[in-house]
Structure 1
Amino acid sequence: MLENLRFEVHEATTQLVENGLVDYFRGNISAFDPRRGLVVIKPRGIDYGKLTPESYLVVSARTGQVVEGLGMPATGIDAHLTLYRDLPDIRSIVGTHSKYATMWAQAGRRIPCLGVAHADFFQGEIPITAPNSDGIDESSYYERVGEQIVNHYERTKEDPSLVPAILVDRLGPVTWGASPMDAARNAVYVELLAELAYGTLVLNPTREPLRDGDIQRHFTIMRKRGVIPSNRIRGRQIEKR
């Protein structure tokens, strides 16, 4: 079932490993088939070096129950299902604990857009969720993470397709896209831009972000050149649980 999507998820996982964004058991990736209402996701507790396309689980997007495959879904499954339900443009999600992006998340800081390298791919700063004031509950933590992300976009009215990434306060980066490879590439970009921003502010702590107008103009140039897709895939929302 969903053999092609499993292969795509595995190929994207390979990119995450090769770029050093995930290691051993840490990190997760999934993809959503809205027509069937099913999600392909990395299994929990399996070393990345042992994964094959057949290793990935197929779960119900509505209930989170395993439909096909052996094992349990990655620990972030509840967050992923919340995002697929409430941010319907998303088709794939990646969560990592990459070094520099996680430093920004632990510091509780957004990643500012300090140069055109950032504006090449993201129209503005990479946001961060509000702190989790309820503390950490083992049974509902990742569901709460998903709610924090959704609440950010409901509160700010920002478009999650323009900056397909967010930092979860004290946790790390989450990225998404129209395909597993798209989401994985965005994870790579976030880590690169996090490192560039960190180094820039070490060298020049007073450096100001690019002006909004310049960011939008450069972003438009990249779209016209085909670097950034000009069309968005809009899907249906899955039934709320």
Structure 2
Amino acid sequence: MELEQLKQMVVEANKELPRRELVKYSWGNVSAVDRERGIIVIKPVGVPYEELTTENVSVVTLDGKLLGKSWEPSVDLDIHRAIYENFEGVSAIVHTHSTYATVLAQLRRSLVCFGTTHADYFAGDIPCVRELSDDEVVNKYEWNTGMTIVEFFKENKISPEDIPAALTPGHGPFTWGSDVWDAVHKSVVLEEISKMAVHMLCIDKNAQPLKRIVADRHYDRKHGANASFTRDDYGHGMVQR
């Protein structure tokens, strides 16, 4: 893919966030990595979504150095960098402060798989990872935030392809995928299933998760070698403008 095409995709994917009501003001960012070129394209800091263009989107090296006349990148760049560096199959990342997913993050509560909508996209609960230590907040805060996600997945032997999302305590959700549209798609789904879960827990704080056999059946219909739902819109159903 040409760099200009990748920049355009990142611009349009960022603009999709307010269209899908996942952000207010500039509360979120989308990035994509080109591992062959050794670059990350990401939303610039503080630029309203409607003003994003291929001219002002940020392009940085994998170690975070600004390239050319690019605008300053999102303050969350190092969170994205930590995930890219450690999850080799990830090509794009989305961070938002979408209401219901952020409610769960602020409650320090993982998103339990309560129903088949969740199971169609994620092979289990979406974790809320650990709190940062005081030292981690003071030193390399953004990088350490990304590493809490990486560490949780590695310590618990979770595949980032099977659970392409995480909640960071007191902060908000991150999703990732094979391209920017895949990652945005998952953010939309994550917010919707978070909304369902929050409403469920308001009605019954002891609501029970979906039976594992049913959850596995739904996930396996769309994922893996034996998937039968291969023509579904999973990952690429976003309107690309």
TM-score using structure 2 length: 0.90
Matching residue's letter, 2:229: R
TM-score using structure 1 length: 0.90
Structure 1: 5+ residue stretches without partners: 230-241
Residue 183 of structure 2 is matched in structure 1 by 183
Q: Alpha carbons of 1:185 and 1:68: their partners in 2 closer, same or farther (altered >3 Å)?
A: farther
Q: Work out whether residues 9 and 181 of structure 1, in 8 Å CA contact, stay in contact via their aligned partners in 2.
A: no
Matching residue's letter, 1:121: Y
SS in structure 1 of the partner of residue 173 of structure 2 = strand
Residue 234 of structure 1 is matched in structure 2 by none
Report the CA distance between 1:3 and its aligned residue: 0.5
Tell me how large the CA RMSD over aligned residues is: 1.6
Q: Work out whether residues 21 and 96 of structure 1, in 8 Å CA contact, stay in contact via their aligned partners in 2.
A: yes
Q: Per-residue CA shift, 1:144-178, capped at 9, x if unaligned?
A: 10111111011101111111000011110001000
Residue 209 of structure 2 is matched in structure 1 by 209
SS in structure 2 of the partner of residue 32 of structure 1 = strand
Q: Per-residue CA shift, 1:99-131, capped at 9, x if unaligned?
A: 110110010000111111111111111111111
Residue 239 of structure 1 is matched in structure 2 by none
Report the CA distance between 1:207 and its aligned residue: 1.8
Q: Work out whether residues 64 and 78 of structure 1, in 8 Å CA contact, stay in contact via their aligned partners in 2.
A: yes
Residue 60 of structure 1 is matched in structure 2 by 61
SS in structure 2 of the partner of residue 68 of structure 1 = coil
User: Larger RCO: Structure 1 or Structure 2 (Cα < 8 Å, ≥ 6 residues apart)?
Assistant: 1
Report the CA distance between 1:15 and its aligned residue: 1.6
Residue 45 of structure 1 is matched in structure 2 by 46
Q: Report 1:29-40 matches (<5 A).
A: 29-40=30-41
Report the CA distance between 1:9 and its aligned residue: 0.9
- 1:120 and 2:124 aligned: no
Matching residue's letter, 1:211: K
Matching residue's letter, 1:35: E
Aligned length: 228
Aligned equivalents of 1:12 and 1:192: distance in 2?
Answer: 18
Matching residue's letter, 2:49: Y
Q: Per-residue CA shift, 1:14-63, capped at 9, x if unaligned?
A: 221101112222211110001111110111111112112322111001x2
Aligned equivalents of 2:87 and 2:70: distance in 1?
Answer: 28
Aligned equivalents of 1:82 and 1:49: distance in 2?
Answer: 28
Counting aligned pairs with the same residue, the percent is: 35
Q: Alpha carbons of 1:203 and 1:135: their partners in 2 closer, same or farther (altered >3 Å)?
A: farther
Aligned equivalents of 1:98 and 1:138: distance in 2?
Answer: 26
Residue 26 of structure 1 is matched in structure 2 by 27
Structure 2: 5+ residue stretches without partners: 236-241
Matching residue's letter, 2:56: S
- 1:5 and 2:6 aligned: yes
